[in-house]
Amino acid sequence: MTKEEIIEKIKSSGLCGRGGAGYPTGKKWEEIYKKNPKEIYICVNGSEGEPGTKKDGFILEHYLKELIEGIKTTYYLFPQTKKIYLYLRKDYFEKYKEKVELLKDNLPLEVFREPGGYLCGENTVLVNSIEGKRFEPRRKPPYLSEVGLFEKPTIVNNVETFYRIYQIVNGIYENKRFYTIGGTAKNPGVFDLPVEMTIKKVLEATKNPINEDQFVQLGGGASGIFYTFDEISSQSANFGTGVILVYNKTTSLTEIFKEKLEFLIKENCGKCTPCREGLYFLYKLVKNNKLLDPSLEKQITDVIENLVVSSFCGLGSGAGTAFKSLWTKRKKIWQ
């Protein structure tokens, strides 16, 4: 297959990045391919920091060969690649480094141990962390595809995206994605299912049906959107990292906020006010059990909205979107 044919195939497959942001992969790669820069870098993002998500680990465990083949295809498309970084969170690194070394052949690939936590999964933070810089997001523009790792154009895609590239090139892509089911679900795990399904269908297909006393968070434990039982039958599950976390109403609003906030106040980069201080503001309220104080309702709504619209990067606005969805649906869920 010619390079042009491969890119055409990726484009017509409709594949979107599986790291959470969902940008069309074919379009992204074609732009770089046409510009044909002298040197580029490729980063395979296996940070998998979004709480609840386990699909990248699943791929590494079961489809490592296929993943490497997908990376090889990319290298074939971009022979000017100076280096490929397989960027793995610490436990994945320990587990799979040696296996990857055996499989990589003559790929200029380095298995890179993620030096930080949740933050490092954000593409620009990932690039900074490889360069040894502080873990904080970069300003955009310039985009990584223009000025990325070591100031060279850089492709950053999720582990699953490369796995799907392997499938596309070999004609076995069936427009599927991995769903991780977790939380209080009866049958948790990682499942390979069609991209366009409602949450309800995914839950049923994986033997995890839920009832009126339950609700879900879709897309990630930190930045996923909450849906009530009534919503899941019409809501597409194709969002974020494809994780569906099931919750029971016996867990209170405050408990959920607390769990998320304890994680986020430590794991945000500290750069921007809405995220660093906004999250802390909410955390303090939760800690003092004041989340449901009616006199604070407006203020809480404002701080959450501010997090959504005025954060520096996607992690902040993602967290905001998560809180906003639960906050606006709280009365419906807990009556």
Shortest distance (Å) from residue 115 CB to another protein: 12
| Strand 243-248 versus strand 154-158 pairing type | unpaired
The burial class, CB within 10 Å (0-12 / 13-18 / 19+), for 234 is exposed
For 209, other C-beta atoms within 10 Å of its C-beta total 14
Considering the complex, what minimum distance in angstroms separates the CB of residue 327 from another protein?
15
Chain residues that interact with another protein, rule: CB under 8 A: 119, 134-135, 139, 264-274, 276-281, 283, 302-303, 306, 309-312
Query: Which residue number, 6 or 319, has a Cβ lying nearer to another protein?
Result: 319
State the minimum distance, in angstroms, from the CB of residue 92 to another protein: 21
Could you tell me the CA-to-CA distances from 303 to 6, 52, 283 in Å, in that order? 46, 25, 12
* CB closer to another protein out of 158 and 317: 317
Q: At its nearest, how many Å lie between another protein and the CB of residue 331? A: 23
Which DSSP state fits 143? Answer: P
Determine contact, residues 33/78, Cβ cutoff 8 Å: yes
Q: Tell me whether residue 125 or residue 155 sits nearer to another protein (CB atom).
A: 125
Tokens representing 263 are 């994680």
Q: How far is the CB of 319 from another protein (least distance, A)?
A: 11
Shortest separation between residue 126's beta carbon and another protein, angstroms: 15
Cα–Cα dist 175/71, whole Å: 19
**Which residue number, 192 or 277, has a Cβ lying nearer to another protein?**
277
Q: Which is nearer to another protein, 239 or 263 (CB)?
A: 263
Residues 272-276: contacts with CB under 8 Å, at least 24 apart: 272/310, 272/311, 272/312, 272/313, 272/316, 274/303, 274/306, 274/307, 274/310, 274/311, 274/312, 274/316, 274/320, 275/307, 275/311, 275/312, 275/315, 275/316, 275/319
Single-letter code of the amino acid located at 60:
L
The secondary element (H helix, E strand) that includes residue 332 is helix 314-334
Considering beta carbons, is residue 26 or 148 the nearer one to another protein? 148
Which residue has tokens 């770089």?
A: 32
Among 191, 271, 198, 195, residue whose Cα is nearest residue 236: 198
Tell the residue number behind the tokens 């409602």, with chain if given: 198
Tell me how far, at minimum, the Cβ of 73 lies from another protein, in Å: 36
Nearer to another protein, 74 or 311 (CB): 311
Q: Which is nearer to another protein, 111 or 261 (CB)?
A: 261
What is the closest distance, in whole angstroms, from the C-beta atom of residue 221 to another protein in the complex? Answer: 17
Helices and strands counted in the chain (H then E): 12, 9
Contact 224, 217 (CB under 8 A): yes
Residue number, 71 or 264, with CB nearest to another protein = 264
Q: Shortest Cβ distance from residue 290 to another protein (Å)?
A: 14
Answer yes or no: are the C-beta atoms of 32 and 145 closer than 8 Å: yes
